Amino acid sequence: MHAGNLRIEAKNVIVATGANREPRMPVLADQLDPAIVQLHSSEYRRPSQLREGGVLIVGAGNSGADIAMELVRERPTWLSGPDTGHVPVRIETAFARHVVFRIVRFVGLHVLTIRTPMGRKARRKFTSRGGPLVRVKPKDLSAAGVIRVPRTVGVRGGAPVLEDDGVLEVANVIWCTGFRHDLSWIDLPVFGEDGEPVHERGAATGAPGLYFVGLPFQYAAASDVLPGVGRDAAYIVKQLADRRSQPAPAMAAPST
């Protein structure tokens, strides 16, 4: 393994680079009119970063909903993407803090795992769409004047095109399209057809000694947040300890 000019050799490597490092931008972003201000959600700080005029927010998850609620106060705001569901209670209440969050934590750690049918089904949904809205509810968006529109699927005449073939003439686009983890630097046969590492609870199946921590749904829905990462890390450490305690392979006797 190389780190700058440094070459490091190790029997075991743990990749703990996290799941939210590189902003994910769709290809069609390069096709929009250059006059349109484009930001990824990770770059957005305040409304003054944008041009005067309407804004299309692509991605209807938590980041998209939060940003939409701020921007709709001063400009036309469209929120593009399917409904991802929402937490049915207000998280600011004492009931939510002391009851709901404990239930959610338990489900995320112990119910929605790769060991349960419910967890495997949830894993497929988590990888194809955003998580449920937590702070903002759909009715909050409607009441504030945010206009919900279908997915953004293309560009026509430099403007974004929606799934229903509608074209939005906007001055700004904010991409709330999530993040990706770039593992292209790993030159080992550990990736599946989808480009994701093939592993058993973080232990790479194609390269003994290579481990991952913090992958989305590595073992459970909570694997990329603190409660889940801690448990997954403890599992990997145990695998390392067990591997070290195993006797070294016997050397073949020299032929006479």
Give 230-245 pLDDT, tens digit per residue: 999 999 999 998 887 7
Is pLDDT at 251 greater than 60 in this prediction? no
Q: CB within 8 A of 174, min separation 6: which ones?
A: 38, 39, 40, 41, 44, 55, 56, 57, 58, 64, 67
Is pLDDT at 218 greater than 60 in this prediction? yes
Residue of higher predicted confidence among 3 and 104: 104
For the entire predicted model, the pTM comes to 0.80
pLDDT of residue 255: 56
Percent of the chain's residues with pLDDT above 70: 94
pLDDT tier for residue 101 given thresholds of 50, 70 and 90:
confident
Structure tokens at 170: 């906007």
Return the residue matching tokens 């484009």.
38
Mean pLDDT is lowest, of 31-35, 97-101, 189-193, 251-255, for 251-255
Amino acid at 194: D
pLDDT tier for residue 124 given thresholds of 50, 70 and 90:
confident
CA distance 39 to 45: 10
Residue of higher predicted confidence among 124 and 168: 168
Answer whether 101's CB lies under 8 Å from 227's CB: no
Residue of higher predicted confidence among 253 and 81: 81
CA distance 44 to 53: 16
Average pLDDT over residues 176-183: 87
CA distance 14 to 126: 24
pLDDT of residue 33: 97
Instruction: Report the DSSP pairing between strands 55-58 and 159-162.
Output: unpaired
Q: Which residues pair with 40 in a beta bridge?
A: 175
Residues 50-92 have pLDDT tens digits of 999 999 999 999 999 999 999 999 999 999 999 888 888 887 8
Answer whether 119's CB lies under 8 Å from 220's CB: yes
